[in-house]
Amino acid sequence: MENKKDLLTSDNLLCFDNLPEAGFTDELEEKVRSYFSRITSNVDTFVSAFRALPSSSFASDALMEAFVLEHIGLNNESLGELAPELKDYFGTGLHIWQNPRQFAAYLRWLAQNAVDCASYLEIGSRWGGTFIATCEVLRRVCPTFKRAVAADLIRETPFIERYAAIVKSEGIEIEYFKGSSTSDAFRDMVHRVKPALSLIDGDHSLSGALKDHILIRQVSKIIVHHDISSDTCPDSTLLWNSLKQLESQMTYTEFTEQYETLPGHYFGIGVLARAGEAAAPALRPHKT
Ligand SMILES: C[S@@+](CC[C@H](N)C(=O)[O-])C[C@H]1O[C@@H](n2cnc3c(N)ncnc32)[C@H](O)[C@@H]1O
């Protein structure tokens, strides 16, 4: 996998350290595009590795975590929220904005419980890595999986374009929604697609994440929230703790494990599933 170090020598330097989460200027959007256009082969490399991954790797959090690090690769933003010993993986592969330990456990949960999710929506897809990895899990475990929508305020990135091209011939349709999840057009899209599984990882303010939840709960049987146990995202953490009480018709599962070398709590993935929609053994609330 190519990584940040290779690309920082280029004439079109992209500095991830102070990249805003949204509101890119045209110039910045071009730089982002240029950076990711040069490494779209990371998508092909990941897809090949994932499809060659033996089922036994799904049996263990440790094996899956190793796969996330080696073959999915981490973002290089908000590095203070990632354990320092992971530094070789910053800015590699699909650049996912995740705690790899939590994400590995989440992917294993999906593989067992999202076996009937024909469609997926990610609000806040950014570079597209989490979106692509999730689609690959669904493709692997759910024979009816056929549609996924990535949504973000920023322009579609080359990773998502490349992935859409790869899976098109397999009958999987990838759609990109550029715009806000609070727009009328987004609401119309959600009611048209009715995603079975949705990840809410866009606006992390209380009102923003709550609005997303209110919309998504009308259609999705599995609703996933990101940054549910985060010192830097108190609003989404508060929302999650409230939803666990309020959504009493749903069961919840949390992936909040941290690295010992990093003080504090960061990221966290919370899953709400309508009773009877996820496989029975995982329905009991549990922490990993
Ligand atoms: C933390 S990043 C997402 C990371 C990505 N899900 C991943 O795992 O790699 C949050 C993204 O949400 C987008 N965003 C913020 N508010 C949004 C909104 N109202 N609608 C759609 N996207 C939004 C931002 O542009 C940003 O790219």
Place of tokens 């070398």: 261
* Ligand 1 close to Cβ of residue 153 (< 6 A): yes
Overall fold of domain 6-273: Rossmann fold (3.40.50)
pLDDT digits (tens, 9 = 90+) for 77-101: 989 999 999 999 999 999 999 999 9
What is the per-residue pLDDT for 149?
Answer: 99
pLDDT digits (tens, 9 = 90+) for 187-220: 999 999 999 999 999 999 999 999 999 999 999 9
The pLDDT confidence band at residue 6, using thresholds 50, 70 and 90, is very low
pLDDT at 58 over 70: yes
* Ligand 1 close to Cβ of residue 100 (< 6 A): no
- DSSP state letters, the chain: --BHHHHTTSSS----TT--SS---HHHHHHHHHHHHTTTHHHHHHHHHHHH--GGGGG-HHHHHHHIIIII-B-SSSGGGS-GGGGGGBTBTT-B-S-HHHHHHHHHHHHHH-TT--EEEEES-TTSHHHHHHHHHHHHH-TT--EEEEEESSPPPHHHHHHHHHHHTTT-EEEEEES-TTSHHHHHHHHHH--SEEEE-S--SHHHHHHHHHHHTTT-SEEEEE-SS-SS-HHHHHHHHHHHHH-TTEEEEEE----TTS-S----EEEEEETTTS-GGGGS--B-
pLDDT digits (tens, 9 = 90+) for 234-244: 999 999 999 99
What is the per-residue pLDDT for 13?
Answer: 66
Distance 200 CA to ligand 1 centre (A): 9
The pLDDT confidence band at residue 275, using thresholds 50, 70 and 90, is confident
Share of the chain above pLDDT 70, in %: 91
- Give the residue extent of every domain in the chain: 6-273
The pLDDT confidence band at residue 157, using thresholds 50, 70 and 90, is very high
* Ligand 1 close to Cβ of residue 98 (< 6 A): yes
What is the per-residue pLDDT for 15?
Answer: 82
pLDDT digits (tens, 9 = 90+) for 18-50: 788 888 899 999 999 999 999 999 999 999 999
Q: Which of 89, 190, 203 to mutate to test the pocket of ligand 1 (most atoms within 8 A of CB)?
A: 203
Q: Which of 125, 197, 207 to mutate to test the pocket of ligand 1 (most atoms within 8 A of CB)?
A: 125
What is the per-residue pLDDT for 282?
Answer: 40
What is the per-residue pLDDT for 178?
Answer: 97
